[in-house]
């Protein structure tokens, strides 16, 4: 079961609440940001962070240091990217069908869930961006896609850490 689907206790009050968590609880909380145990332990071990930016920088550094096996570990914990909500209008059913087929083709080709960070996109852009990205990435060679997936994992972890530091569950 993916780590982000497990119920991890949310920090009481942003970064201060995160710092106050016992080490095992901090690790479980961090695993909701990135499913690699060494990544989570590394960030938990280096607490306290003076500010949210320091936590984000530490998360980036730990993400860049993931080995191939750790990237596989983190990807295995990622749930498939959810289908964007259906928007009214013609073609929505066809777009959802195309997206489901693209997800299946991606997972068959690369043997892990398609991951993408869509922060900064408006809700009405999410489906088009996702479909474009997955179709583009299906053409990648495995080594190239590993690199792209690693960057998307880093971006996802950074966004999740930012929410954690802000006190959002």
Task: Give the model confidence (pLDDT) of 6-43 as tens digits.
Answer: 444 443 468 999 999 999 999 999 999 999 999 999 99
Strand, coil or helix: 22: coil
Distant-in-sequence, close-in-space partners of 76: CB < 8 Å, separation ≥ 6 = 35, 112
pTM (whole model) above 0.75: yes
Q: What is the pLDDT of residue 149?
A: 96
Distant-in-sequence, close-in-space partners of 32: CB < 8 Å, separation ≥ 6 = 3, 4, 6, 8, 160, 164
CA angle 62, 67, 68 (to 5 degrees): 135
Q: What is the pLDDT of residue 169?
A: 44
In which residue ranges of the chain is pLDDT below 50?
A: 1-12, 169
Q: What is the pLDDT of residue 35?
A: 96
Distant-in-sequence, close-in-space partners of 68: CB < 8 Å, separation ≥ 6 = 146
Task: Give the model confidence (pLDDT) of 106-115 as tens digits.
Answer: 999 999 999 9
Cis peptide preceding 75, ω within 30 of 0: no
Q: What is the pLDDT of residue 124?
A: 81
Q: What is the pLDDT of residue 10?
A: 45
Residues 77-110: b if buried by 16+ CB within 10 A, e if exposed:
bbeebeebeeeeeeeeeebbeebeebbeebeeeb
Q: What is the pLDDT of residue 69?
A: 95
Tokens of 68: 């191939």
The percent of residues above 90 in pLDDT, for the chain, comes to 69
């Amino acid at each position: 079961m993916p780590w982000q689907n497990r119920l991890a206790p949310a920090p009481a009050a942003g970064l201060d609440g995160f710092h106050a968590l016992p080490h095992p609880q901090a690790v479980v909380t961090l695993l909701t940001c990135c499913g690699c145990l060494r990544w989570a332990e590394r960030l938990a071990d280096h607490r306290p962070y003076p500010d949210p930016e320091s936590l984000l920088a530490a998360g980036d550094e730990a993400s860049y240091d993931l080995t191939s096996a750790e990237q596989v570990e983190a990807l295995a914990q990622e749930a498939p990217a959810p289908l964007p909500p259906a928007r009214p209008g013609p073609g929505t059913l066809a777009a959802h069908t195309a997206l489901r087929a693209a997800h299946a083709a991606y997972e068959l080709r690369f043997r892990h869930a398609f991951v993408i960070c869509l922060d900064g996109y408006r809700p009405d852009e999410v489906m088009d961006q996702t479909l474009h990205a997955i179709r583009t990435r299906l053409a990648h060679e495995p080594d190239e896609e590993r690199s792209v997936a690693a960057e998307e994992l880093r971006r996802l972890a950074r966004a999740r850490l930012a929410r954690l530091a802000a006190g959002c569950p």
